[in-house]
Each structure stands twice: as structure tokens, then as C-alpha cells.
Amino acid sequence: LQEVNSKINKRLKDALFTDQWSELFMDVLSPFHFILVSTVRMQGVILLVFAKYYHLPFLQDIQTDCTRTGLGGYWGNKGGVSVRLSIFGHMVCFLNCHLPAHLEKAEQRKEDFATILHMQQFEGPVANGILDHDLVFWFGDLNFRIESLDICFVKYAIDSNVLSQLWEKDQLNIAKSTWPVLRGFQEGPLNFPPTFKFDVGTNKYDSSAKKRKPAWTDRILWKIKPPGKGLGTGGHQPTQGVLTVSQLCYCSHMEYTVSDHKPVAAIFAVQFASKVDKPLVEIYVADEWNRPEQAVVRYKMAVGFHRSSWDWIGLYRVGFRHPKDYVSYVWARSDDGERCLEKQLCVSGLQVMFSEEALPKGNGEYILGYYSNASSSIAGVTEPFQISLPRSEEGSSSTDSSGSSSEEDDSTLVLLAPKSRSPSPGKMKRHRSRSPSLAKFQGLILRPSSRDRGTSRSPSPQSRRSLPKNIPTIHLPQGELGHRGVKSKELGQGAESPEGSSFYQTLQEQGGLRCVSADSSLARADPRNLGLLPALRLEMIDQALGWRRESADQSYYPCRRMSPTSPAGCGTSPKEGYSP
């Protein structure tokens, strides 16, 4: 994607929560078993890579990078973002660019592309630069225009469907034969009309006073590493097979009218000899779990696998969206297994067990995945298996009831760490997962996601402890409550306070301001019900320092591991249920 809304208020929201485009794509693709592998964003430029769940163990060495070229390299409205990874042992790079606009900026586009290739470097022994990869896909709003021909002839060629008369004047086609930096890049025939510039909401080319000439600005190209430089990660040409790419489809979609561009899509068939036959971690599990004592997971690690004490095994509902969209998890660590690994006597026979509290109640299909903390990816998965456990009775603990309740929203909104490119582990709220222009996508059918088919219980400990009762008064300006009060009331309806009774917003007039009393149920309500971050506090500096000093004296933060997505520092156990 390019030119995604990146105004300050929108960027702040997207920094706190998963952006709406990523949520939309995950909603659409997860029913087809596509999982978000990696994502990277630079202002309005977004790149997302999805893969079928059973391919995840064979996608390794995942890295991202971005390069700003706007305003001399200080602004990210132009530039490129990339995701590189090893696919069955072959190094592949996806590069999404937004290059400078306008007909006369062809040389600037060349220089910016060369800058992106030079600046983006990856870690590791092989494929450090973009062009060092076995296969490179280059795409985006490249902004190349049609030279020489006037706008009347261009529109005539489009209306008469004689697009070939425009190909030889296309700046990118000319550059591929004259610019050394583009040598080796291939592109399919442009058998679709130019995709820029349209009047938004129509299929008519620019009718404004500027009357921009139609052009193929949005392109998809690819490049295979020359045989002389060797294919694959070994630095030499493999003896078995050769990597080949066939383009099966290259088209635009005229039915989308939400932008002045038309989206472009391509389908490729890539053939190569697999260099990896087995996953790094093999997981063994029974075909069905009918009783809690059957929730035993055995796994075997390949020789040379870089294991971490922060690795974990996640239980996913079929149709999960990303590697941290788990129902529950267990740490992939056992004392016997660690002693075995330290002595290098064995790499098999390790096992862990899910507790009864961590298991989902009811019937459903699930998948187990081994998450490697070192590579930030899934190193092994199972085939889908069945879990059939009786549902909890009413009045049981919140942990058990959350798996069967259809009314309680057990979502959590988790703040993304700086430079973190993976989605937060909690389940994002539904009202944040829709693009504002979604209604304009005609013919787009949203299939129910895993979250819609049943409420999943995230192991996030935040949901098992209410906030302290000394939350200070929250002051809101009188003018802002005109529209915020309605939203707060809507959020209050159907949500439950820790005592189990419905909460409603109570407001008191004080000197032109309205305040929420600290004694009100709204102030003490679980922040998940308010759409806030877990354990988010609004307080005066003196109160905050005093509260933290008091907490420190009481050893409020015992140093224990909390969840796979928490920092490797101080936290609490899931039973204590506090997230710093």
C-alpha cells in the first residue's frame, strides 16, 4: 500500500493499535488460512506478507528495513520498505516503493531507487543487500509516466484498446534498457489501462484543471539472481534445479474507486528445489483432546536449532491471524529437557503440558505452533486437531467462563513496542478493525474470522486483576463531552464491573468542567471495557511517584516471567495477573 492516511492523529492511533488496513487484510485472509508473517510501515507506505500456516516453519531469517527519500532523506512520504526472508532455503526480498511524482522527475526516480538499494542492508552471512537475494519482487507507486505523446492521443489509445502504442513511450520500459540499476528486472505485458490518475469515486481520468496525462504508475516487477552469482544461500549455484518465475496474471481492478489510482495485482508461480525438508521443530500431539490430562505436547528439535528459554508453544484456533494470536500458551522448557540439551545427549523426547485452566472449553479445531524467540517466527506447527472439553458451569472463575461467554469481550489492546513489527498478542477490539472506506469496496465479502466463531481466551494476565481503587479524578473539558459522552455510554452498556454489575458514566458539574468521581464505577472499571490500554492510569505526578514508591516498598512487582510477549524482565505469574 502507498499513500495510506498518515495524518498526525491517524498515525498516533496506528502507533498504539494495529492499523486498520492490516486488521482488514487479516480479517479477509485468515479464513483462507493465511497468516501475517511480517509487516513494515513508513508513514503512508505499508508492506504486509502473508503465508499459509503450514509454510510458516519453512520461512526463516525474516527481517525488515525502510529508507526515506523525501525531503533529502528526512521525510518518509517517499522511499521504500522491504521484507526479506528465507523460503525453503531460498532468499527472497519484497520491496515496496513510492518514488517521486511528475513527468520530469524520471532521473530523480532513478536516483532514489539507487539510494534505496544502497541503504537497505540486512544482517546475516548471506544476502546482505537487496540484489543479493535469489529473487526480488519490486512493486509500488513507481510514478513512471508516458513521454512525448499528448494527452489526447493517450486517451484515444486507451479508448481504442491499442495500448501497445503507448508501451515504447513508457518511462520505465525505456529505463529498463538504459539504466544499469534496472538491468535484469522483468515485467509482464501492460494489457490493462493506465492506473493513474482518476477522479475519486469514478472511472474517469483526471478532469481537474491540471488534467494529468494517464500513466502506468503502479507496477510489479521481479528479478532473479544471475546464475553466475549463485542461487540460494550457499554462495554457489545449486546442483538440483533452477529457480524459475512464471507470471500467471497481471491486471488492474477498475471496480475500486476509493483512490485516484487503480489497484494492480499479479500472481506468480515460483519453482525451485527445496533446500529444507523438515521443520526446525517437529511437534507431536494426539488427534483429539477429550480430557485435560490429554493436553500433552511432545516435540523434537533439529540439530543446530538455536533454542531460547523464552521459546513457547502456542495453541491457536484454526483461522488464526498472526503468530501471537494464540488462545493459550505454555513455555517450551522443562528441567529434564534443558539438562539433556546442555549435555547434548538428545534433541528429542521433550514434552510440556497445558494446564486445565489454559485449555479452551467446548468443541473446536486447533493448531499447535512452536514460537522461536530468537528468530521471531514459528519454527514448527501441527496439523489441525480436535479439542472437545465440557464448558464451565456458571459462577466458575473468570478464566473458565471467558472461553464460553458470548457476551463478555475479553479483548486487550496492547501497546506496540518501539520498532516492533509484529502484532500485539491480545485480541484487538472489533470496532478498531474496520477501514473507514470499507463500505465503498463493492463486492468485498468479509468471512467470519476465528475471533467471530468463538471467543478466544488470551492468556494476558491483565484480565484477571481489577485496577487499584485509588484512581484519581479524571477531568474532561465540557466541550469534548458532547460527543465523547455518547461513546462512553455505549461502551458502558453491556460491560460488567469487577463486582458484576453494569456500570454507567456518572458526571458531576464542577466550575465549567465535568469530572468522573474516583468512587464511581466508571473510574474503577476494567480498562478493557473502556477501550483503554491495560492498566492505563491517568494521575498527577506527585500521586504517581507516591504510588510507585509505596508499591516498591510492598514488592508489588515480583520478578517472574509473565507472557511470551512481555519483556524479558520483571513481571508476574499469570495467577497473580498483573501486567506492568
Domain residue limits, the chain: 3-228+241-271, 281-335+346-389
> What CATH topology corresponds to 3-228+241-271?
Deoxyribonuclease I; Chain A (3.60.10)
- Name the pLDDT band for 565 (thresholds 50, 70, 90): very low
pLDDT at 495: 37
Task: Report the percent of the chain where pLDDT is more than 90.
Answer: 55
- Name the pLDDT band for 242 (thresholds 50, 70, 90): confident
pLDDT at 145: 98
Q: Work out the average pLDDT over 425-447.
A: 38
- Name the pLDDT band for 358 (thresholds 50, 70, 90): very high
pLDDT at 545: 53
Please tell me which residue, 225 or 578, carries the higher pLDDT value.
225
Question: Which phi-psi region, left, alpha or beta, contains residue 160 (left: φ > 0; alpha: ψ -120 to 50)?
Answer: alpha
pLDDT at 18: 77
Across the chain, mean pLDDT equals 74
In angstroms, rounded to a whole number, what is the distance separating the alpha carbons of residues 460 and 466?
Answer: 13
User: With the C-alpha atoms ordered 413, 417, 419, 422, is the resulting torsion angle positive or negative?
Assistant: negative
Render pLDDT for 12-47 as a digit per residue (tens, 0 to 9): 777 777 788 899 999 999 999 999 999 999 999 999
Render pLDDT for 44-63 as a digit per residue (tens, 0 to 9): 999 999 999 999 999 999 99
pLDDT at 546: 53
Task: Report the percent of the chain where pLDDT is more than 70.
Answer: 62
In angstroms, rounded to a whole number, what is the distance separating the alpha carbons of residues 352 and 330?
Answer: 7
Please tell me which residue, 105 or 470, carries the higher pLDDT value.
105
Mean pLDDT check: name the lowest of 107-111, 139-143, 472-476.
Answer: 472-476
- Name the pLDDT band for 511 (thresholds 50, 70, 90): very low
pLDDT at 542: 54
Output the nine-digit C-alpha cell for 564. 511470551
- Name the pLDDT band for 5 (thresholds 50, 70, 90): confident
pLDDT at 76: 78
* pLDDT of residue 379 exceeding 60: yes
> What CATH topology corresponds to 281-335+346-389?
Immunoglobulin-like (2.60.40)
The top-scoring range by mean pLDDT among 162-166, 337-341, 347-351, 550-554 is 162-166
Kindly tell me the burial class for residue 357, based on how many C-beta atoms sit within 10 Å of its own C-beta (0-12, 13-18, 19 or more).
middle
Mean pLDDT check: name the lowest of 47-51, 271-275, 457-461.
Answer: 457-461
Q: Work out the average pLDDT over 409-416.
A: 34
- Name the pLDDT band for 491 (thresholds 50, 70, 90): very low
Per-residue burial over 23-39, b if 16 or more Cβ lie within 10 Å, else e, is: bbbbbbbbbebbbbbbb
pLDDT at 91: 97
- Name the pLDDT band for 364 (thresholds 50, 70, 90): very high
- Name the pLDDT band for 515 (thresholds 50, 70, 90): very low
Prediction pTM value: 0.68
Q: Work out the average pLDDT over 176-191.
A: 95
**Cβ(143)–Cβ(78) below 8 Å:** no
Render pLDDT for 135-172 as a digit per residue (tens, 0 to 9): 999 999 999 999 999 999 999 999 999 999 999 999 99
Output the nine-digit C-alpha cell for 319. 483461522
- Name the pLDDT band for 112 (thresholds 50, 70, 90): very high
- Name the pLDDT band for 425 (thresholds 50, 70, 90): very low
Nearest C-alpha neighbor of 264 from the set 139, 446, 84, 176: 139
pLDDT at 208: 94
Q: Work out the average pLDDT over 388-417.
A: 47
